[in-house]
Chain A
Amino acid sequence: MAVKILTEHINVPGINTFDVYRKMGGYTAVEKALKKMTPEEVVEEVKKSGVRGRGGAGFPMGMKWSFLAKPEGVPRYLVCNADESEPGTFKDHFLMREIPHLLIEGMIVSSFALGANKSFIYVRGELMYVIHILEKAIAEAKAAGFLGKNILGSGYDLELVVQPGGGAYICGEETALLESLEGKRGNPRNKPPFPAVKGLYQSPTVVNNVESIANTPWIVNNGGEAYASLGIGRSTGTKLISASGHINKPGVYEIPLGITVEDFIYADEWCGGIRPGHHLKAVIAGGSSVPILPANLILNLANGEKRLMTYESLSDGGFATGTMLGSGGFIAMDETACVVRNTWTFARFYHHESCGQCSPCREGTGWMDKVLERIEHGKGNMHDIDLLVDVAKKIEGNTICPLGDAAAWPVASAIRHFRDEFEWHVKHPQEATQPGAVYRGAMELV
């Protein structure tokens, strides 16, 4: 059995309560860190672990922590990003709902390491029921002396605040999140200054994803080297993958980084294969923003080797034949899925979620939404397909925040790998607009 860092006890009845969580070894990392370690030592272990940010960008967490400015007399903040709104991604939702104390424990050791005395968990507002779960967990931890003033007699004080969002994907972008947390519209900030220097309330701030923070208790308990010994190369540890679409067992899985994509899709331990009687057509491996790949390319690298579930292997081949691990939102499609329609729902999503600050993103996402809608509804022409590629190119790299890129990549990659399907919609509008109609031309299914 693979090592489980986050979900080992997730099926223990009552694990959402303090008592059961504690009985299963919970909060020992807080005891160890606060009583036996200095903040610098905790940072050092996280550095050694090689754990990379689990929110999508994969930036090394220890390195991010070491960038935090420490001017005298200025408070520092840790903000946990629980905005989770990237289509295909529902791992943080699962983790917070099932084992809330793991995040609370992680927030305590991480805040201690960074020298923060007030830390925030920014949860998307739709998950109000999860916010109540977290607030209850915080109250329990406080009653047991793990939060508040002078925790465990160590002299360290910490208060945790759970903040609801209001329904806006862009608030997952870290500077938009900080704006939102200050009670403003979620408009991303220009960088620099980076949050590590001027973040929340213009103070030095670290923003980390839920899953990133949830890894820290294990790292404190077992040491960074033990963590780094799991996984492959620069993809250390485990990763939560939220799997959806046409697989037998949709859900959230904690995988050791390094299993093959094939195993992840077909093994009973994970997704359990494609629905009976159907075949794999395409996969979006890391949430809606990453390039879609056809079945043969997601399973195998260009050189014929099997593709692995790691940051490096998934991105092997660049955008020509590769994709990204992203947030771990793994969306599988069989031959009944229409790539054009799916791409359109994503374009519509980004259009809806663009904050509107930069014109390439605001206008470009609108164009892509409209043109894709046209093609999907049998009203497109051949020129539209090139127009989409052109618009995607013009957005990419020309915006304040990465939402623009995130909107461009799915469209560009869908056309790159499934151009026939777009052309079929244009050439056979009547056929393509029948309910449930899907392109059945030449394509490699697995």
Chain B
Amino acid sequence: MTDITPPITFTPERLAKAQEIIARYPAGKQKSALLPLLHLAQEQYGWVSSDIMDYVAGLLSILPIEVYEVASFYTMFHLDPVGKHVIEYCRTGPCCLMGGEDVYGHLKQKLGIDTGETTPDGKFTLKEVECLAACGWGPVFQIREKYYMNLTNSKVDEIIEELSKD
């Protein structure tokens, strides 16, 4: 049997974007592009596998280990496959004062999963995160780049129903 996994590579647009990012830094300081490139990779693949990290290392002419140690330090990078929509809800004090624990409890019940789990249909992953700098607009969660703020149980229902459609 032949290996049918397509090789890891950025889409042409992302490759152009990656080159543009690398050019932002002084000569020889291309490693500064590491976090932006990991974000770009996660945007394309949903998570960052070791193959993806190796690819990024190649683009930056650095060692793979330099990418692994960075990707594992920062909480935003998913080092394991995740569901289609990763819901990252803020568990820190101020959001709890704004009613967070009830709303997140409702969210877990609605999806039938706990923190760190993915729904069986692969649509949703729940992740607990720390303060998202939106404390007065809490409770809050983030899905990809979008912030969902001032959450209530019924708002959560609407959001999940909307996202379940696609």
Contact = CB atoms under 8 A, between A and B. Distances in A.
Interface string B32-45: 11111011000000
A243 B137 CA distance: 10
A114 interface: no
B50 to A, nearest CB: 17
B130 A166 contact: no
A170 B75 CA distance: 12
A85 B134 CA distance: 10
B93 A87 contact: yes
A167 B98 contact: no
Contact of A183 (B34, B131, B147): B34
Contact of B92 (A87, A128, A168): A87
A90 B134 contact: yes
Nearest to A171: B74
B138 to A, nearest CB: 7
Contacts of B135: 87-90, 242, 244, 250, 329, 331
Contacts of B35: 125, 163-166, 180, 183
Interface string B1-42: 000000000000000000000001110010111111011000
A181 B134 CA distance: 24
Interface in A243-258: 243-246, 250-252
Contacts of B121: none
A251 B136 contact: yes
A118 B94 contact: no
A127 B145 CA distance: 7
B77 interface: yes
Contacts of A244: 94, 97-98, 135-136, 138
Interface in A118-151: 118, 124-129, 132
Contacts of B69: 185
Interface in B54-97: 60, 62, 66, 69-70, 73-77, 91-94, 96-97
Contacts of B33: 183
A165 B96 contact: no
A168 B73 contact: yes
A349 interface: yes
Interface string A84-101: 111111101100000000
Contacts of A386: none
Contacts of A315: none
Nearest to B40: A164
Contacts of A348: 91
B156 interface: no
B97 A166 contact: no
A191 interface: no
A44 interface: no
Between A126, A164, A169, A250, the greatest number of chain B beta carbons within 10 A of the residue's beta carbon is seen for: A126
B111 interface: no
Contacts of A75: 26
A242 B130 contact: no
Given A75-B26, A163-B36, A342-B96, A243 B136 contact: yes
A279 interface: no
Contact of B96 (A129, A161, A345): A345
A182 interface: yes
Nearest to B36: A164
A185 B131 CA distance: 20
Given A167-B75, A331-B94, A345-B91, A352 B130 contact: yes
A186 interface: yes
A87 B98 contact: no
B92 A129 contact: no
A184 interface: yes
A85 B29 contact: no
A201 interface: yes
B94 A167 contact: no
Contact of B147 (A129, A184, A288): A129
B136 to A, nearest CB: 3
A183 B136 contact: no
Nearest to B71: A166
Interface of A: 75, 84-90, 92-93, 118, 124-129, 132, 159, 161, 163-169, 180-186, 201, 242-246, 250-252, 288, 329, 331, 333, 337, 341-342, 345-346, 348-349, 352-353
19 contacts: A87-B94, A89-B131, A90-B137, A125-B35, A125-B39, A126-B142, A127-B133, A128-B39, A129-B146, A166-B75, A167-B77, A168-B75, A182-B31, A183-B33, A183-B66, A185-B73, A186-B74, A331-B97, A349-B131
Interface of B: 24-26, 29, 31-36, 38-39, 60, 62, 66, 69-70, 73-77, 91-94, 96-98, 129-138, 142, 145-147
For the complex of A and B, 7 pairs with smallest distance between CB atoms: A166-B74, A250-B136, A167-B76, A183-B31, A183-B34, A167-B75, A244-B136
